[in-house]
Chains A and B, each alone.
Chain A
Amino acid sequence: MGIRKHTPGVRWAVALGAGIAIVAAAGCSSGSSTTSSTPSGSSSSSPPSSSSTVSTSQCGTKPGVAATGTPIALGGIVTNQPGTSFTDIANMANAYFACVNANGGINGHPIKYYIETEQTNPAQIAADAKQLVQTDHVVGIVGNTSIIECSIDSSYWQKLGYYIIDSGIAPECYSTPNSAAVNMGPRYSSDGAVQYALAQHVSKIVFDQSNVPGTGYIAAGPNALAAAAHVPIVQLTENVPISDADSVAIKEVDDAGPNGAVVLNFTPPEALVILQAAQKLGLEDKVKLWGCSTPCNTDFLATSLGPKWNSKLFVNAELTPPDVTTTTTMKLYEAILKQYGSAVSGGIGSFSQMGFTEAEIAVHALETVTGAYTVASVNAAFKAVSNYNTGMLCQAWTYGSYPMHIPNNEDYTVTPDNGKMVTAQGCTQISAVDPQIKAYRSAAGTAPMVQ
């Protein structure tokens, strides 16, 4: 049967197909690459303006002087798919690099930052890594934030001698020698939320998370903490997106009981759906407290929830709360975000803080390199970062030569307060009852507290 040409139906189908392709390409940004502004780009064409107290010129060694040397190529891979996008992290790192480039660069060299996006497709993620290495010739990997990238590319990076500075999600981001994250990731952040609940003497924990790869690994941490405290824990998983939030909320509250705690590990939209359902059903006060891992730490969530959740919901916060911190680093972060962060859609928040911190550490390491910027010299510099005060974490950050890396293992707890997240508990160590934390501290010790 031949293909008919130029029938109205075919024309419509072709037109529709083209429309879908255009929107899909734009919307999903499949495998797309973007780069930071080089000295000839817009970021260097005008000198940075001052913020009220801290100027963006402080991000480089030569204020107002655009870097013109040979670019230093860095790359990052981030998940960007409907419902799950971490592009803000890479975009914030890009903003930091643009700021550095506009203010002297790294010894006169600008940073050229390549961002690859992926849609949780292992083949695509492996291809992204090869693209960065073989085509873009990156000498360092900074800002990776992906649901499965660490699992897919870990051995590839090890083979080539790359030491990644990332925001971790998958177990391999924390359990391998060549990945060090600035965040705690879902397991240790959930540990923090459960630990806070246990400290409030709850009688039972219900830990609920999205049904995605790695739930068993994440659940192991809260399980260990609850077992050590002799508090029963119920583990639940939910398929996302959640369309039956009412029944989810009822089950959680039924299982937890009036003196129990419900701890959630979901993205903000999913957590919001559950919490709102609980509120509508009048269940928010039927348990002692509600907890949540770091993703819930957004003012969007606090605003959407309203005052009923003030001091009722306690959210683990892996990074320094920006609203109440007035350090130079925090002001620089806000100034860079304002001047260079137009692509950072979420504005101030955990994701952009992570991107800032990763770029900050990378720049700090690059400034120690003497000689050519090669894969060997740059990654040796990354690995050599030790006890560095990022200004964004509770404790100093160290890479080091360890078989595993959990350099961020102290955290805050925040709670909604009339549309804002405010600090409920200051820096607190994640308990070494979690065997992974214990193993890391045995290898690397406990980093000094800096906040």
Chain B
Amino acid sequence: MPSWQDFEPFIVSGLALGGVYALSGVGMVVLYQATGVVYLAFGAVGAMGALIAWSLINDAHAPGWVGWLVCVAFGAVVTLGYGMVFGPALAKRDPLVKAVATLGLTLVLFGVMDLLWTTSGGESRAITLPTDNGGFTIGQVQVDWTQVIGLAAGVAITVVTGVFLRYAKLGTAMRAMANDREITATLGVPVRRVEAAAWLGCGILAGVAGVLLADLVALDATTLTFLVISSLAATLIARLRSITVTFAAAIVIGLVHDLLTPIQALTNYRDMTPFVLAAIALLVLSRGGGRVLSRSREEA
């Protein structure tokens, strides 16, 4: 068994990884709260935005900030476009159908990325942010400001979104719509406009996450697209309800995952962490009543 000193650097890296999961997970729960859709394309949208940013910066020699803004704008436009086109059409369908439809968008974007940003010639790409250059040291590990921003962004988004959904008029409308779209509409809430705001917000989050994750994790279509699967575990632990629990679960998943790394007997199994923790959490929570999707069906 490694000593406490051996574990120390993995606490830092685990927090950073948890922050990464939280960024995606919180975004997904926000949209789910507002529209009842589990947006599985969150990672792919961010990945494609980041690849566009990379091309602008490296091929068109645009300033970095232009690339980052374009990434966020791409996330916003694609997500809003999807929501506006497919949202109303799928509004009355089962939540599972809505989720699978977003998987369709994921595959379309994934195919496009594979075509346009091929790796057949051994290409490897990276986005670096100015915040990578500064930082501080904890123990023997250097922490850069991008990692701090990633974690802080997760906290900020959690707090701001929580407050917004609870206290803002638009946030209340979103929550009402997630519960029952038709009743909300009969109460005079401009459903399409509220939905558009939710999709737009989620798209902006996807774009921001795309830039940060391209730097923190990797600028790779496969990695970023499927990172959302691990984040999904955090959202399941929170039963797609609580943004705060999603954030906490993501941090715990990241910490447990990385703390298993120095343990020789378990290190090869550490990638199972999100799913094992999600399965345990769901088993425990199911005693308290209801499955995750049963509520979703009622809501739909």
A82 lies within 8 A of B110 (CB): yes
Q: Which of B17, B89, B90, B120 has the most CB of A within 10 A?
A: B120
A241 lies within 8 A of B226 (CB): yes
A247 lies within 8 A of B122 (CB): no
A100 to B17, CA, bound (A): 52
Determine whether B286 belongs to the interface, using a CB cutoff of 8 Å to chain A: no
Which A residues lie within 8 Å of B137 (CB)? 282
Which A residues lie within 8 Å of B132 (CB)? 280
Contact code string A262-297 (vs B, CB < 8 Å = 1, else 0): 000001110111001000111000000000000100
B8-16, B155-163, B189-197: which lies at the A interface?
A: B8-16
A211 lies within 8 A of B268 (CB): yes
Determine whether A36 belongs to the interface, using a CB cutoff of 8 Å to chain B: no
A245 in contact with B9 given A23-B107, A280-B142, A298-B122 (CB within 8 Å) = no
B134 to chain A, nearest CB (A): 11
A13 to B100, CA, bound (A): 10
A269 to B111, CA, bound (A): 18
Residues of B within 8 A of A (CB): 6, 9-10, 13-14, 16-17, 20, 86, 89-90, 93, 97, 101, 104-105, 107-108, 110-112, 114-115, 118-126, 132, 137, 141-142, 144, 146-147, 217-218, 220-223, 226-227, 230, 257-258, 261-262, 267-268, 270-271
Which A residues lie within 8 Å of B257 (CB)? 244, 247
Determine whether A309 belongs to the interface, using a CB cutoff of 8 Å to chain B: no
B107 lies within 8 A of A20 (CB): yes
A300 lies within 8 A of B268 (CB): no
- State which residues 121-168 of A face B: CB under 8 Å: none
Determine whether A56 belongs to the interface, using a CB cutoff of 8 Å to chain B: no
Determine whether A26 belongs to the interface, using a CB cutoff of 8 Å to chain B: yes
Which A residues lie within 8 Å of B230 (CB)? 243
With both beta carbons as reference points, the residue of chain A lying nearest to B143 in the complex is identified as A281
Determine whether A12 belongs to the interface, using a CB cutoff of 8 Å to chain B: yes
Determine whether A257 belongs to the interface, using a CB cutoff of 8 Å to chain B: no
Which A residues lie within 8 Å of B122 (CB)? 88, 267-268, 295, 298, 300-301, 346, 349-351
B17 lies within 8 A of A246 (CB): yes
A367 to B118, CA, bound (A): 35
A247 to chain B, nearest CB (A): 4
The 14 sampled A-B contact pairs (Cβ below 8 Å) are A23-B115, A82-B114, A83-B222, A86-B120, A241-B226, A247-B258, A250-B10, A268-B124, A280-B142, A281-B13, A298-B124, A300-B124, A346-B123, A347-B121
Which A residues lie within 8 Å of B115 (CB)? 23, 26-27
Which A residues lie within 8 Å of B121 (CB)? 88, 298, 344-347, 349, 351-352
Which B residues lie within 8 Å of A280 (CB)? 132, 142, 144, 146-147
Which A residues lie within 8 Å of B86 (CB)? 12, 16
Which B residues lie within 8 Å of A211 (CB)? 268
Which A residues lie within 8 Å of B118 (CB)? 85, 345
Contact code string A238-254 (vs B, CB < 8 Å = 1, else 0): 01011111111011001
A9 lies within 8 A of B93 (CB): yes
Contact code string A214-245 (vs B, CB < 8 Å = 1, else 0): 00000000000000000000001101011111
A243 in contact with B227 given A16-B101, A82-B221 (CB within 8 Å) = yes
Q: Which of B86, B123, B230 has the most CB of A within 10 A?
A: B123
Query: What 3 pairs between A and B have smallest CB-CB spacing?
Result: A346-B121, A27-B111, A23-B111
A9 to B227, CA, bound (A): 29
Which B residues lie within 8 Å of A272 (CB)? 124, 126, 218
Partner of B124, one of A12, A87, A301: A301
Determine whether A46 belongs to the interface, using a CB cutoff of 8 Å to chain B: no
With both beta carbons as reference points, the residue of chain B lying nearest to A294 in the complex is identified as B122
Which B residues lie within 8 Å of A273 (CB)? 217-218, 220, 223
A45 to chain B, nearest CB (A): 27
A250 lies within 8 A of B111 (CB): no
B98 to chain A, nearest CB (A): 10
Which A residues lie within 8 Å of B10 (CB)? 247, 250
Determine whether A413 belongs to the interface, using a CB cutoff of 8 Å to chain B: no
Main secondary structure of the interface of B (DSSP, over half): helix
Partner of B123, one of A23, A82, A300: A300
Which B residues lie within 8 Å of A80 (CB)? 120
A82 lies within 8 A of B120 (CB): no
A348 to chain B, nearest CB (A): 9
Which A residues lie within 8 Å of B114 (CB)? 27-28, 82
With both beta carbons as reference points, the residue of chain A lying nearest to B97 in the complex is identified as A9
B83 to chain A, nearest CB (A): 13
A304 in contact with B13 given A9-B97, A280-B132 (CB within 8 Å) = no
Which A residues lie within 8 Å of B226 (CB)? 241
Which B residues lie within 8 Å of A23 (CB)? 107-108, 111-112, 115
Which B residues lie within 8 Å of A8 (CB)? 89
Which A residues lie within 8 Å of B267 (CB)? 236, 251
With both beta carbons as reference points, the residue of chain B lying nearest to A343 in the complex is identified as B120
Partner of A241, one of B9, B13, B222: B222
Partner of A276, one of B97, B112, B126, B271: B126
Which B residues lie within 8 Å of A269 (CB)? 119, 123-125, 218, 220, 223
B107 lies within 8 A of A84 (CB): no
B90 lies within 8 A of A304 (CB): no
Determine whether A41 belongs to the interface, using a CB cutoff of 8 Å to chain B: no
Partner of B9, one of A16, A20, A244, A250: A250
With both beta carbons as reference points, the residue of chain B lying nearest to A244 in the complex is identified as B17
Which A residues lie within 8 Å of B108 (CB)? 16, 19-20, 23
Contact code string A12-25 (vs B, CB < 8 Å = 1, else 0): 11001101100110
Further pairs besides A251-B267, A269-B125, A282-B142: 12, Cβ < 8 Å: A23-B107, A87-B120, A88-B120, A211-B268, A246-B16, A247-B17, A250-B13, A267-B119, A276-B126, A280-B142, A345-B118, A349-B122
A268 in contact with B119 given A245-B218, A247-B14, A250-B10 (CB within 8 Å) = yes
Which B residues lie within 8 Å of A17 (CB)? 104
A344 to chain B, nearest CB (A): 7
A268 lies within 8 A of B104 (CB): no
A241 to B20, CA, bound (A): 15
B132 to chain A, nearest CB (A): 6
Which A residues lie within 8 Å of B112 (CB)? 23, 27
A85 in contact with B222 given A23-B108, A243-B217 (CB within 8 Å) = no
Q: Which of A16, A80, A248, A280 has the most CB of B within 10 A?
A: A280
A85 in contact with B13 given A24-B111, A273-B217 (CB within 8 Å) = no
A241 lies within 8 A of B124 (CB): no
B122 to chain A, nearest CB (A): 4
Contact code string A80-121 (vs B, CB < 8 Å = 1, else 0): 101111111000000000000000000000000000000000
With both beta carbons as reference points, the residue of chain B lying nearest to A236 in the complex is identified as B267
